[in-house]
Structure 1
Amino acid sequence: MNPTNKPKWILLSLILLFLQPVMAAESGITPKSDRAEMKNLVSVNAWLEGADKNAKATQSTKHSNTASDERTLDQKEAVYAVSEQIVMVVEVSTPRWLTGGTRIGNIEIPNVIVKQRNPLATNYTQRRDGQTWSVQRWEITLYPQVSGQFHIPPTSVTAQVSAPNGKNIQANLSTPPLAFKASLPSGLLSGDQAWVAASALTATEQWQVSREQGELKVGDSITRSVTLTGTDTLSVLLPPLLAATENHEPSDSYHRYPQPNALADSQSRGNYQSSRTEEVVYVLQKGGDLYFPNLKLQWWNTKTQQLETLTLEGRHFTVKHTVGSWLSLYGPVLFTVLALLVTSYILMRMLVRYYRTRPTPQWLVFSRALKTKSWATARVLVYRKLRGQTQQLELHQYQASSSWQSLSQRLQQAKLSRAGFIRVWLKIKKVTIKGCSLPKALPALETINTKNEL
């Protein structure tokens, strides 16, 4: 080194030595001398609470500072209901005062909804061992969606405090890993069933009709609005009531027009409120009695640890037809009946015209004889059918069964009733041999006109 430059290097070294503490304080880098000064300067506690703010099984940790990572851990795993609100409390405290904003890192847990619903911390003071501490309380809400065991990873906490020497010191700490379990709170609940867990739940409904006076008519509308309000839950966790019911019970009495759902979440002094409003407009399409069913929702009360049922009453309406709606509803039926009547009339006219030049059918002559109680003519027609169908001349030869013999004997003795005549007539059937009918005996008898027999 050039001897002439030696004084310059000495002067530069002195300047750097003088500026080093200032640069370290401004850059937020804590020198080793300040780390010892930070000991017992910052404390971080973390634990889990239930929806009712009563700690079920707390898990806490205390950090003294970034240099010394001393912890006290009360590890007792808590058990909560699925979808129950769990409050993770992060408490930052110092015997001095916080000079900057506290930052808490993001928490990501599979199958758990994590929300920091209160963006501001609660500030207060505590007396510890005769000393006043400044405390910040942060609340992070967790909502497990499935049953199982969950682990909360360490969460970074950054705080800036004032040291006794007047410097601002940044402390980079972290919460301990916490754990909890979630399960279905009741055997009456299932994963496919709509339900919710909350410390309180209420429901209200409103009805509006387009026609205030008189009966409703086809074309009028009915609006049903349902609002669910829950405490210590999220609006996205409140299940739909109108849509779930009507998807299983569709109706052709109306057209359904659902409106966008209104979701709202708020908090006030540690009380978390959520609401879900559903509104559906029903345009009436058919007259008659219309019934909207009751709405029911099961929910788990996290305060009483009981399963409860919330019910909203349905309502009856009477809808009056218009001319157009009546024709639209019953028109197809009327058209079908009218078509059948016209077809029957045409067929009857064709039959009458056909039998004007042809013999009347035997079954028709037989039915007329029975109607007028002309038993002699009925017997003649029975024997004629026997000859035509079986080529036999005596009834007792047709069948050998005792029932048939009794019928034939009673017919010959004129002791047969109208029902007996019908039984004999139906029993006589055409006899065939290997698919070929027998030739008719005495075919001339078949040409005798029977129109004047009655």
Structure 2
Amino acid sequence: MKTAKYYLQLWLLVLGLSHHSQGCGADIFAEASLPVTGTIAITQQVKLTVDIFSRQDFARSSQIRWQPVAGLVIEQKEPFSTRYTAQRQGHEYFVQQWELLLTPQAPGPYRLPALQIDVWVRDDDGQVALKPTAGIQSNSIEFSASIPEAMQGIEHWFAATAVTVERSFEPDLLDESSDKPVIGVGDALSRTIHIWAQDSAPRMLPTFNFRSYQGLSAYQKPAQTAESVNRGRYTAEKTIRVDYLVEEDGRYQFPARQIHWWDTVNQRHQVIELDEVLLQAGENPTLKPFVLSAEEQQQQSRRRWLMGIATGLALLLPGLAALGVYRYWQRPHVQQAIALRRLLKAACAEEDLLKQQAMFYRYFDYRQSADYDAQLQSLLAGISSATTRSGMLTQLAALQAYLYAEQRRSSVMKADAFWSSLLAVVSNQRAQSSPADGLRLNPAGEKHKA
């Protein structure tokens, strides 16, 4: 009897919890919203608000789960929710408001699927169940992120609502007073850069790499990061520190640096300038250079190697060109052509028709007459058979017209040095003749009275 009563009570308890869970399921829901106005930039930290509504009072904090989204960092940094009451459709609801931080890493559209939420509420007797009273889902969220036009081409930047940067030296190199400490060989120097950024994450803040100099060794420490929240405003901090050890006297110049960030409040590009600083160690005024890294040394060696090759080619190519021209003019057939041109020119100067004919035929044999057309053979034969000066000039005019036509038509004729010289000789011979000897031809081949 006692066993039957126990199972009856257990069955009634399960039935009651099941009915209560179904009732709560109808009275519990969640809403997700993204209260952002304007363009969302990549690396911008956006707050996603999740409001959970329940007709019964909450027994404990709800648990929110989400699916990962490529290129989107999703974080729940605030461990506690904001609680309040609200009226919906004539009913009073208890509300838990949670915040998730969304940070897009690349431009493009994003879709956050529905959030999975486990909720615990109290029953009518004020008891708390060991398992979630209800499992609900929120609505999905869609948005897009882009790179602002003003930030195009900038290698490293981040988005924030406000940024503050401080730098310091120990000993203080920025002190302009006469009591500025003197630094010498063996002394140590510390340099610190502190960056604060509101509504950003420490991983988004820039990292500086400090280099050693010849005579000044740099020992950089790992960056220290921290994050805090005050009244819903998240502040990221990064501290970068490097220690220097002076090994040689000299002047060491710390270069200027820039920090670029996108102002999400004013929607504009902001730049923080860190001016260069000069360290004077001892009395040596020599400005010491950087110590090159292994990669930079390899790049510098490669540049020197390429410069050596370029310089060698710049000196070698003109020499090879000059040698080629010299060897061309020293070839037997070129020298023979030059000698024949000189003989022909001398015959024209002496006005010796028989010698001119002999020179034409000698060159004709030299050029292998079988390779030329019948017209050229006929012209040369006409010059050979001329017995008077006027007849010779007439044949020279015909030969000149032929040479001009061939020079315009044939690339071989244009590249032949002898034919160009021959054309000049024929033209000069005709120009020196008497107007009574006949007609002249211009280079275009048109006739006009001499």
- Which category describes the TM-score, using the shorter chain as reference length? 0.5 to 0.7
Counterpart selection for 2:138 from 175, 192, 215: 175
The 1:24/1:293 distance shift into structure 2, 3 A limit, reads: farther
Do residues 121 (structure 1) and 107 (structure 2) align? no
Question: 1:344-394 deviations in whole A, cap 9, x for unaligned?
Answer: xxxxxxxxxxxxxxxxxxxxxxxxxxxxxxxxxxxxxxxxxxxxxxxxxxx
Distance apart, 1:118 and its partner CA: 0.7
Question: 1:205-252 deviations in whole A, cap 9, x for unaligned?
Answer: 111129976532122222110011000111111111x31xx46xx632
C-alpha separation in 2, matches of 1:150 and 1:269: 28
Do residues 138 (structure 1) and 98 (structure 2) align? yes
Residue aligned with 2:13, SS: helix
Distance apart, 1:307 and its partner CA: 0.7
Aligned length: 280
C-alpha separation in 2, matches of 1:158 and 1:121: 14
CA RMSD of aligned residues (A): 3.1
- The 8 Å contact of residues 94 and 135 in structure 1, kept in 2 or not, is answered as yes
Counterpart selection for 1:226 from 173, 188, 193: 193
The 1:227/1:24 distance shift into structure 2, 3 A limit, reads: farther
Partner of 1:266: 228
Counterpart selection for 1:38 from 13, 19, 24: 24
Normalised to the residue count of structure 1, the TM-score between the two structures is 0.55
- Sequence identity percentage: 22
Question: Aligned runs of 1:321-332 on 2, under 5 Å?
Answer: 321=283
Partner of 1:112: 72
- The 8 Å contact of residues 204 and 312 in structure 1, kept in 2 or not, is answered as no
- The 8 Å contact of residues 66 and 115 in structure 2, kept in 1 or not, is answered as yes
Distance apart, 1:286 and its partner CA: 3.3
> What amino acid is aligned across from residue 138 of structure 2 in structure 1?
T
Do residues 316 (structure 1) and 278 (structure 2) align? yes
Partner of 1:364: none
Partner of 1:362: none
Question: 1:429-453 deviations in whole A, cap 9, x for unaligned?
Answer: xxxxxxxxxxxxxxxxxxxxxxxxx
C-alpha separation in 2, matches of 1:160 and 1:271: 28
Distance apart, 1:313 and its partner CA: 2.5
Question: Aligned runs of 1:321-400 on 2, under 5 Å?
Answer: 321=283
C-alpha separation in 2, matches of 1:92 and 1:251: 59
C-alpha separation in 2, matches of 1:172 and 1:279: 48
Do residues 254 (structure 1) and 216 (structure 2) align? yes
Moved more, 94-103 or 298-307: 94-103
C-alpha separation in 2, matches of 1:208 and 1:276: 19
Distance apart, 1:186 and its partner CA: 2.5
Distance apart, 1:81 and its partner CA: 0.6
Moved more, 88-97 or 196-205: 88-97
Q: Which runs of 5+ in 2 are unaligned?
A: 174-178, 290-450
Partner of 1:94: 54
C-alpha separation in 2, matches of 1:113 and 1:36: 35
The 1:193/1:253 distance shift into structure 2, 3 A limit, reads: farther
C-alpha separation in 1, matches of 2:231 and 2:52: 19
Normalised to the residue count of structure 2, the TM-score between the two structures is 0.56
Q: Which runs of 5+ in 1 are unaligned?
A: 1-7, 50-54, 57-77, 330-454
Counterpart selection for 2:245 from 255, 262, 283: 283
The 1:252/1:24 distance shift into structure 2, 3 A limit, reads: farther
Counterpart selection for 1:80 from 40, 52, 55: 40
Counterpart selection for 1:185 from 128, 131, 148: 148
C-alpha separation in 2, matches of 1:227 and 1:101: 36
The 1:234/1:24 distance shift into structure 2, 3 A limit, reads: farther
Residue aligned with 2:203, SS: helix
> What amino acid is aligned across from residue 182 of structure 2 in structure 1?
E
The 1:128/1:228 distance shift into structure 2, 3 A limit, reads: same
C-alpha separation in 2, matches of 1:39 and 1:318: 74
- The 8 Å contact of residues 202 and 226 in structure 2, kept in 1 or not, is answered as yes
C-alpha separation in 2, matches of 1:39 and 1:146: 38
Question: 1:9-44 deviations in whole A, cap 9, x for unaligned?
Answer: xx976653432132456xxxx52x435533642121
Distance apart, 1:173 and its partner CA: 0.5
Partner of 1:147: 107
Residue aligned with 1:19, SS: helix
C-alpha separation in 2, matches of 1:144 and 1:80: 9
Question: 1:90-144 deviations in whole A, cap 9, x for unaligned?
Answer: 1112232111331111442222222211111111222445543221111111111
- The 8 Å contact of residues 218 and 321 in structure 1, kept in 2 or not, is answered as no
Residue aligned with 1:81, SS: coil
Partner of 1:369: none
Distance apart, 1:174 and its partner CA: 1.3
C-alpha separation in 1, matches of 2:99 and 2:25: 26
Moved more, 127-136 or 265-274: 127-136
- The 8 Å contact of residues 66 and 114 in structure 2, kept in 1 or not, is answered as no
Counterpart selection for 2:11 from 13, 20, 25: 20
**Larger relative helix fraction:** 2
Distance apart, 1:187 and its partner CA: 4.5
Do residues 307 (structure 1) and 274 (structure 2) align? no
C-alpha separation in 1, matches of 2:127 and 2:145: 45
Partner of 1:195: 157
